[in-house]
Structure 1
């Protein structure tokens, strides 16, 4: 019942638009700050690895192992992915285009930051993003998804029809 309400109610779509734009702004400003501020993921990754030791580690060993053996050697790639990922997720959420995909990518980044021992606003952003993901299309109803999703469905349906005609012709 609650899920259906999230997915179909017009008033909820408006509330989700506010949440979506808020989250988008948070992502966009974080990414922009990293892009213009000389962000280097190497320092962040190293700090997370250091949080994996002691009596009460903030970072689990399996995640620290991933960071040490995969992320740290590829810190330049992760720097690029984090900066531009945050910017693109922010833009997509603000515009309401590919809303669910953007929210999914955002929540993946939030969880990566949480796994790395950084709390900040990540837990709050995860909670709000869950509502967007559960709401599905309704979260982007007052955004560009209102036009993009039907257009994409029409194009996909048209291509399936055309492919079916080609197969039947043989």
Structure 2
């Protein structure tokens, strides 16, 4: 029942638009600050997270610290690029309501990565709000570019599938 409300109600779509734009602004400004801030480098953050994996009450679990140490740290340049541009593009997509669910999914993955790395900040709040967007599906982007893009793409895919079906039927 609640899921149906999130997915179909136009008033809820309006509320979700405010949530989506709020989250988008948070991501966009975070990414933009890293892009224009004179060279973002994630290696310090990664090293700090690895350091939090020891002691009596580690903030970072061993499996995540192993990933950071063996994958993220050697590829810190790639991860720096992905974080700053990922944050910016997720924010832009959420604000515009363009591929909203994909943007929300990428945002929640980044939030979990930050949480796994021992940071708290606003990540928990952002995850909670993002869950509403993900559960709402198309309705979260109803008052955005998804309103036009998603039906257009569905039409293109259906039209393409119809052509394939006709060619297959004619061949037999």
- Shorter chain as denominator, the TM-score bin is over 0.9
Counterpart in the other structure of 1:16:
16
Q: Secondary structure at the match of 1:111?
A: helix
Using structure 1 for the length normalisation, give the TM-score.
0.99
Counterpart in the other structure of 1:130:
131
Q: Secondary structure at the match of 2:69?
A: helix
Instruction: List alignment gaps of at least 5 residues for structure 2.
Output: none
CA distance in 1, matches of 2:52, 2:35: 25
Aligned pairs for 1:143-158 (under 5 A) are 143-158=144-159
Counterpart in the other structure of 1:45:
46
Q: Secondary structure at the match of 2:119?
A: coil
Confirm or deny that 1:141 pairs with 2:123. no
CA distance in 1, matches of 2:159, 2:66: 47
Confirm or deny that 1:25 pairs with 2:25. yes
Q: CA RMSD in A?
A: 0.4
Counterpart in the other structure of 1:162:
163
Using structure 2 for the length normalisation, give the TM-score.
0.98
CA distance in 1, matches of 2:115, 2:30: 16
Count of matched residue pairs: 170
CA distance in 2, matches of 1:97, 1:84: 16
CA distance in 2, matches of 1:3, 1:158: 30
Instruction: List alignment gaps of at least 5 residues for structure 1.
Output: none
